[in-house]
Amino acid sequence: MDFRDDTRLVALGDGRFSATLDDRWWIVVGPNGGLLAALLLRAAVAVVAEVRGDVTPRIQTTQYLATAVEGEIDLHAVIERSGRRIVLVAVDVRQGDRVLCRSRVTFGTAEPPVVAVVDHTPPEVGAPADTPLDYRPVGGNDVNIRARLQRRFALERPGCWGGWLRMEPPVPYDHVVVASLMDNWPPSLRTHVDDPARANRLHTTTIELTTYFRTATLDLADDDECLIVLRSGTSAEGYHQEDAELWSPDGRLLATSRQLALVFDHEH
pLDDT of residue 145: 85
Number of Cβ within 10 Å of residue 127's Cβ equals: 11
Domains in the chain: boundaries? 3-109+126-265
Average pLDDT, integer, range 60-74: 97
pLDDT score at 143: 57
User: What is the tens place of the pLDDT at every residue in 202-229?
Assistant: 889 999 999 999 999 999 999 999 999 9
pTM metric for this prediction? 0.94
Residues ≥6 apart with Cβ < 8 Å to 94? 73, 74, 75, 76, 100
β partners of residue 202? 265
CB 173 within 8 A of CB 202: no
Superfamily of domain 3-109+126-265: Acyl-CoA thioesterase, double hotdog domain (2.40.160.210)
Residues contacting 153, CB < 8 A, separation 6+: 131, 134, 136, 161, 162, 163
Q: How do residues 138-179 score in pLDDT, each as one tens digit? A: 444 455 788 899 999 999 999 999 999 999 999 999 999 999
